[in-house]
Amino acid sequence: MFYDTLNKYVHSWIEDGKLNYIFSNRKKPDFILTDKSGIALALKYDFKTMIAPIILEKGKNSYAQKIINMSNNRNIPVIEDKELAYDLYSSLRTGCVIHHKYWSRIVTIYSKYVPNILNNESNNHFDNYCDNYFEIQRQKNYEKIFVNPPEKIILELSHNIFSIVEHKSFRINILGIVIHNIKARENLILKDNEFCIMFNGLAVKHGSIRYSNIDPYDQLSLHLCGALKDFAKELIGYDEIVFLFSQIKDKHPVLIQEILKCYSIGEIKKVLHGLLQEDVSVQNIITILETIADFGPKKSKLEFDSIFDLDLVIEEVRKAIGRDICYPLMGKDNVLNAIHFEYEFEKKIAENIIVTENGKALKPYYFKLLMQILPEAIDEIGKNNVKPILICSTINRKLIRNITEQFDQKIIVLSASEIPREVKIEYVLSIKENMYVR
């Protein structure tokens, strides 16, 4: 009896000491997640040292109540979310990073109850890692484009980081392109924990590994994914496409035969580059190649310039893989929030398109008008934390995209035809010709 009482007292004393340390100013959690029935989790996020929030502490029954009481005494928000609290408690241990599938729900809580922590710098950092982590973790049963650039990509590491990861092979997935056998080498000039990513002999990213719960190898993989995403199209050349065809010709011999009847390797490469340039994944490569092959018979009948033909093929491909493009862009309740042109305004844009030897262009007056109106519209919806997604007609999409990338590379321009029927669209702004004109 006395032993049980003593053991209970000692256990309670250890718990109190642990909570006092956790709730100190240095390690104070951002908020407490609870289901109000005996579960409590303390979450902490520091954008300078963490990729995502971690479970600082968790408990059940009496220990959960201690966590909640201590939070109330220190004015730390206690948030009730029965489903999320149960999922995190049952799937993650103390000290673990929140899994990416819960990130959108966690960000919602932070933005509502802990707004100060999600300043612009940290929010961008978190969003970038969300995108990169999603690319690395996504595993689908698609044929993959494998790239093995022995000298094109080099990861230079300081001595202490190199000693940790020297026996590991880096392999990342960027927009459906699997890059493997990335070479890592030691650079004695770099300071402790520093790294440098070299692409074609040029340094494209320089940084350092932070001490956190994320393994240095995983941190380097995320940095590689983020840095090389802008160079994705440069990873696919003639040799990579020929190697891809050799991989899939046994399973899809008719497809390879048909596509090579109408297209050269260079034309196929240009289509893939056109997709990658707008951050469209090419992981569904079979559907992409089938669409290109289907468009082949039309190609010989077209009287347009070959560059214009390429735009038409890319639009057909985007329509075929519309789900892959649109689903990652949807917000809560599977709704796609977007802006669009008023019908009469878009009709005038289409009427003022001219075809030149370099492709399609817009007459000067309407070009200047769009360069004035679109940035204002993007700024307006940005105040409501809405992603800049613009929906227009298929014939105008590529031209509008060429205009928007001159002032903002992150604007996503979709055509109405590439949005699947099951996707709900909520228009938050209709752009008119006389908007923002001073």
Hey, what CATH topology would domain 238-320 get?
Helicase, Ruva Protein; domain 3 (1.10.8)
Alpha helix (H) ranges present in 23-143? 61-73, 82-91, 103-113, 120-137
Looking at residue 14, its pLDDT comes to 45
pLDDT score at 233? 83
Task: Name the CATH topology of 329-431.
Answer: Rossmann fold (3.40.50)
Distance (Å, whole) CA 70 – CA 15: 12
The tokens for 433 are 């010709």
Token pair 């360069």 in the structure block, residue: 371
Cα(first)–Cα(last) distance of the chain, in Å? 85
pLDDT, greater one: 136 or 233: 233
What pTM was estimated for this model as a whole?
0.63
Count how many Cα atoms sit within 13 Å of the Cα of residue 238 in the half-sphere of its side chain.
3
Question: SS3 for 402?
Answer: helix
Task: Give the residue-averaged pLDDT of 371-380.
Answer: 82
- DSSP bridge pairs for 170: 182
Determine the pLDDT at residue 7.
Answer: 46
Residue keyed to tokens 């990130």 = 103
Q: How confident is the model at residue 332, as a pLDDT?
A: 60
Mean pLDDT over each residue of the chain, to the nearest integer: 76
Task: Please provide the CATH number assigned to the domain covering 145-230.
Answer: 3.40.30.60
Q: 163 vs 151, 193, 225, 376, CA distance in Å?
A: 21, 11, 22, 50
| Of 375 and 36, more confident | 375
Across 88-97, 208-217, 392-401, least confident range: 208-217
Give yes or no for residue 418 having a pLDDT over 60.
yes
Q: In the chain, count H helices and then E strands.
A: 16, 16
In the chain, where the domains are located:
2-117, 145-230, 238-320, 329-431
pLDDT at 3: 39
Q: How high is the pLDDT of residue 409?
A: 67
pLDDT at 307 over 50: no
Stronger pLDDT, 201 or 315, i.e. the higher one: 315
* C-alpha triplet 167, 169, 173: angle, nearest 5°: 160
- Quick one: fold of 2-117? name from scop (3.40.1690)
- Rounded to the nearest angstrom, the gap between the alpha carbon of residue 167 and the centroid of all alpha carbons in its chain is 29
233-239 LR contacts (CB < 8 Å, sep 24+)? 233/272, 233/273, 233/276, 233/277, 234/199, 234/200, 235/147, 235/149, 235/152, 235/174, 235/177, 235/179, 236/145, 236/147, 236/177, 236/269, 236/272, 236/273, 236/276, 237/269, 238/265, 238/266, 238/269
Helix, strand, or coil (residue 185): strand
Task: Name 244's Cβ contacts closer than 8 Å, sequence gap at least 6.
Answer: 143, 145, 146, 285
The pLDDT of residue 18 = 62
